[in-house]
Amino acid sequence: MTATYHTSVLAAMMQATQHGSNDVAIRYLSVDSRRMAFPAETLFVAIDTAQRSGHSFIPDAYLQGVRVFLCHHLPEKTMEDAVYLQVPDTLKALQQLAAAHRRQFHCPVIGITGSNGKTIVKEWLYEVLHHDVQIARSPKSYNSQIGVPLSVWLMQAGTQLAIIEAGISQRGEMQALQSIIQPSVGIFTMLGDAHAEGFASVQEKLQEKWRLFQNCTAIICNTDDAAVAALAKKFKGQLLNWGYHDGVWLQLLEIKKEPSFATVDFQYEAAYHLLRFPFADDASIMNAMHVVCYMLYARYSWEIIQQRIAQLRPLDMRMQWKKGIRHCNLLNDSYSNDFTSLVQAIELLFQPSRNEQRSIVLSDLSVGNDNLANYQQLLQLLQTKAIHRLITVGPVWQQALQQSGTPSFTVHTFMQTSELLAALPQLHFEREDILIKGGRQFALEKVAQQLEAQQHQTVLEIHLPAVQHNLQFYKKHVQPGVKIMAMVKASGYGSGDAEIARALQFSRVDYLAVAYPDEGVALRQAGIHLPIMVLNTDPASFDVMEQYNLEPEVYSFELLQALQAWCEQRGIQSWPVHIKVDTGMHRLGFAVEDVPMLLQLLQQQQVLQVRSVFTHLVASEDVAADAFTQEQIRLFSNACSLLSAGLGYSFIQHCANTAAILRHPTAHFDMVRLGVGLYGGTPGLQPVMKLYTTVAQVKKVAAGETVGYGRKAVLQRPSVIATVRIGYADGYPRQLGNGVGSMWLHGQTAPVVGNVCMDMTMLDVTDLPPVQPGDLVEVFGDHISIQDVAGWCHTITYEIMTGISQRVKRVYVEAE
Ligand SMILES: *Cc1c(COP(=O)(O)O)cnc(C)c1O
């Protein structure tokens, strides 16, 4: 069971000043008021970061039932039945609390660090060890200054092993993590060649990471890397190193790679051994080596090691919202089903609504969690949530449900996944958010496949954490009081429906802007309540704009008069409008010369209220146009002065788009309009959109033959041609045919051969390792940037992003 601490004990553990005398038993911690499963037993930790003020969420957390708060200052209005634990630094106090909690355990604790592979090594260790010991592990990739304390908190009375990741981005951070985790065994995954942002050198970064191991009794690492070897040599404890060179603890002799597996020869304690790994890529092999080392260290036999390693699969750790059939949304994690990860997934399901109805499909919990108390606790949790129905698979759930009272929602129970699959048509899912979560042996991914909307295997991944990252990047470049308007026109530059707006609303941007009223309506229907400016309106849409509280851009006298007349007729007062001044774009807007006349008309009416005045820069990215840009800014500033003097009230002034935020600080005024930068469409930002497709067929074609329509590609050599499932109807431009474009698969680029077809494209994969139908292909993403693709077509990233057609399935990645 989870450990319980009373308020007075918590106060003592953190040397906090306690305000309020209510005695509450706390089992859970939360730093995010959206993610609380058991608010009444949760300590809400208010942490202010550059992104958001945790303190401002205290009232919200209270409304949800939280009664104990860790804070730096008291909220304006304190509640009588609440307890506030006040400390000088809430993050430090949280870390101190976790460290004190950790000190109560004497079981082994594995601390994992390194540049890549931390999460996968942790999950794989869990996978191979959880049959034998009760394990506490970091959820997802909670490895930061905040994530680590929350992870360590999951150690509980029955815990026999903890596996905790530690990630750092700056000097000095590892000391804090080390003192929280206090690992007994260290794993260093790999150094990686990523440049050492936040560090003077890669060497310094390595030394900082290595601090995690200062009190370990054993370290697992690959000493083929000379820098790692140098540090490992100084280690006084048990060095469990592996590599090709002599004198290591576990020596690699040879790796033989086949298309879908690899066989690895070892020498260990003067004997030869062989293991078969169920994958052949270097990263997976390397990650699995750390797992093998730990199993050997924990005295598993080679036979058991082979059995369990054979079960490993590359994991898709990310929680993703996918479009389902009949307007459903799916959140699918059919890889693991333990108590902690399930509670987290349920919290994710209950973030601001997509659909009103929510259904949950659950298998029995993974081994080691089959105590009925866990099931009862889950049922209690579900009772407090607005669940529409619960669908369970497995005998333990059936038993648990028989013993509990009648729940407030519909329940369907199945003994096996095959029975559920057969019953799917009768369950008729429609307009529901569906969480699917199951242990691997239940293969609930088959259920997910049935419920997914489009089976066409090309997906556009939208990485929501990257949106947050890019937003923060630009926020740092404007003065604190300057507002941010996020441009989400054209479905968020092609990214899809309301998910981006939802993420932006959570990060508290000030305004949204869309191109047409329909786009604004769709956002309102998805529960977006931020103010929304509509760039392009016409009288036919006034009705719907008023109904959905959308704010029009006013760009001409005709529009102004029509809007005014419409409002007067209906007795509408103070409708907020946004005045567009044309300072050089010559698209929409009042000419600078017309501003005095505009002022007169605005002064003569009461129905419209100028919320903002703005202009659009035409070439803010271009050094050669800087004089022109300065002139635009000057004209705009004059127009604003005139209007504000004449109107006698203030309004928001804005003119900077993405490029101007960085290049023209004098253009920031009161608000900036962030567009393409948000989506990672400019260099140096995190890519938000990643487009993937799959191979449909592979064939050998003789020299002299041609490929595709019009016989454009004549093969100069015997070739291997892979046909992939994307074409110009998906938004893959036809200009990319005949070697102009390339895609990425099996770690290499493969050029397009022949013309791009409507639904398919052919790649020359002759020089690649064997390609097979079903293989994943990156069209753009981590290896081929959207800038590359735009460059090949001689266009801008905007056009590529917004051109991805609606038939391409959008997948929203919530967490990396
Ligand atoms: C699209 C748009 C922007 C955003 O431009 P980016 O270059 O993508 O930052 C700003 N203002 C207006 C009026 C726009 O139409």
Residue closest to 708 by CA, chosen among 766, 777, 762: 762
User: Is 2 within 8 Å of 156 (Cβ atoms)?
Assistant: yes
Residues 597 and 214: their CA atoms lie apart, in Å, by 74
Task: Provide CB contacts within 8 A for 430, sequence distance 6+.
Answer: 326, 327, 328
Kindly give the residue spans of alpha helices, DSSP state H, lying in 244-403: 282-297, 302-309, 339-349, 372-383, 395-403
The pLDDT of residue 319 is 65
The 3-state DSSP class for residue 380 equals: helix
Fold of 322-452: Protein-Tyrosine Phosphatase; Chain A (3.90.190)
360 lines ligand 1 (CB under 6 A): no
437: annotated active-site residue: no
615 lines ligand 1 (CB under 6 A): no
The 3-state DSSP class for residue 259 equals: coil
Ligand 1 atom nearest the C-alpha of 493 is 8
Residue 499 in this model has a pLDDT that exceeds 90: no
Task: Provide CB contacts within 8 A for 540, sequence distance 6+.
Answer: none
Mean pLDDT for all residues in the chain? 91
Written as six digits, the tokens of 212 are: 């995690």
Average pLDDT over residues 597-601: 96
681 lines ligand 1 (CB under 6 A): no
The pLDDT of residue 195 is 52
The pLDDT of residue 365 is 84
* pLDDT tens for each residue of 136-195: 998 877 889 999 999 999 998 889 999 999 999 888 899 999 999 999 999 999 887 655
The pLDDT of residue 178 is 97
Which residue in this structure is represented by tokens 């995690």? 212
Residues 386 and 357: their CA atoms lie apart, in Å, by 8
Percent of the chain topping pLDDT 70: 96
Helix, strand, coil % over all residues of the chain, rounded to 5 = 35, 25, 40
Residue closest to 760 by CA, chosen among 454, 456, 322, 452: 456
Which residue's C-alpha comes closest to atom 13 of ligand 1? 616
Residue 370 in this model has a pLDDT that exceeds 70: no
709: annotated active-site residue: yes
Instruction: Give distance in angstroms: CA of 529 to centre of ligand 1.
Output: 21
The pLDDT of residue 352 is 59
> Which residues make beta-bridge pairs with 652?
612
The pLDDT of residue 779 is 97
Residue 655 in this model has a pLDDT that exceeds 90: yes
Instruction: Give distance in angstroms: CA of 486 to centre of ligand 1.
Output: 9
Residue closest to 671 by CA, chosen among 515, 498, 521, 512: 512
Ligand 1 atom nearest the C-alpha of 658 is 9
Counting ligand 1 atoms within 8 A of each CB, the residue from 511, 579, 617, 673 with the most, and so the one to mutate, is: 673
Residues 773 and 775: their CA atoms lie apart, in Å, by 6
Taking CA atoms, 238 is separated from 213, 218, 609, 637, in Å, by 12, 4, 73, 69
Instruction: Give distance in angstroms: CA of 488 to centre of ligand 1.
Output: 9
* pLDDT tens for each residue of 716-730: 999 999 999 999 999
Residues 161 and 132: their CA atoms lie apart, in Å, by 10
470 lines ligand 1 (CB under 6 A): no
* pLDDT tens for each residue of 764-797: 999 998 898 888 899 999 899 999 999 999 999 9
771 lines ligand 1 (CB under 6 A): no
Residue 2 in this model has a pLDDT that exceeds 80: no
Residue 318 in this model has a pLDDT that exceeds 70: no
The pLDDT of residue 220 is 98
Identify the CATH number of the domain defined by range 462-679: 3.20.20.10
Residue closest to 509 by CA, chosen among 533, 530, 492, 495: 530
Residue 619 in this model has a pLDDT that exceeds 70: yes
The pLDDT of residue 675 is 94
The pLDDT of residue 333 is 77
Residues 526 and 435: their CA atoms lie apart, in Å, by 19
For the chain, give every domain's residue range. 5-89, 105-310, 322-452, 462-679, 689-815
Exposure string for 593-627, b = 16+ CB within 10 A, e = fewer: ebbeebbeebeeeebbbbbbbbbbbbbbbeeebee
User: Is 602 within 8 Å of 608 (Cβ atoms)?
Assistant: yes
Residue 665 in this model has a pLDDT that exceeds 80: yes
Instruction: Give distance in angstroms: CA of 663 to centre of ligand 1.
Output: 15
Pick among 3.40.718.10, 1.20.1270.360, 2.170.120.40, 3.40.1390.10: CATH of 5-89: 3.40.1390.10
**pLDDT-based confidence at residue 367 (cuts at 50, 70, 90):** low
Which helix (H) or strand (E) covers residue 498, if one does? none
Q: How many helices (H) and strands (E) does the chain have?
A: 26, 41
Q: Would you tell me how many other CB atoms lie within 10 Å of the CB of residue 107?
A: 15
Identify the CATH number of the domain defined by range 105-310: 3.40.1190.10
Superfamily of 689-815 according to CATH: Lyase, Ornithine Decarboxylase; Chain A, domain 1 (2.40.37.10)
Residue closest to 331 by CA, chosen among 366, 307, 359: 359
Amino acid at 487: M
Average pLDDT over residues 494-503: 84
Residue 317 in this model has a pLDDT that exceeds 60: no
Instruction: Give distance in angstroms: CA of 519 to centre of ligand 1.
Output: 16
Amino acid at 286: M
* pLDDT tens for each residue of 275-316: 999 888 788 899 999 999 999 999 999 999 999 999 887 665
Taking CA atoms, 517 is separated from 376, 407, 533, in Å, by 48, 43, 9
Which residue's C-alpha comes closest to atom 4 of ligand 1? 675
* pLDDT tens for each residue of 86-138: 999 999 999 999 999 999 999 999 999 998 889 899 999 998 998 899 999 98
Taking CA atoms, 466 is separated from 124, 413, 463, in Å, by 26, 39, 5
667 lines ligand 1 (CB under 6 A): no
In 667-715, at which residue ranges do the beta strands (DSSP E only) sit? 671-674, 689-701, 706-707, 713-714
Residues 321 and 814: their CA atoms lie apart, in Å, by 8
Residues 508 and 506: their CA atoms lie apart, in Å, by 5
Average pLDDT over residues 587-600: 96
Active-site choice (205, 322, 323, 489): 489
* pLDDT tens for each residue of 439-450: 877 888 889 888
Residue closest to 302 by CA, chosen among 280, 269, 278: 269
Which helix (H) or strand (E) covers residue 35, if one does? none
Instruction: Give distance in angstroms: CA of 692 to centre of ligand 1.
Output: 27
* pLDDT tens for each residue of 200-256: 888 888 999 999 999 999 999 999 999 999 999 999 999 999 999 999 999 999 999
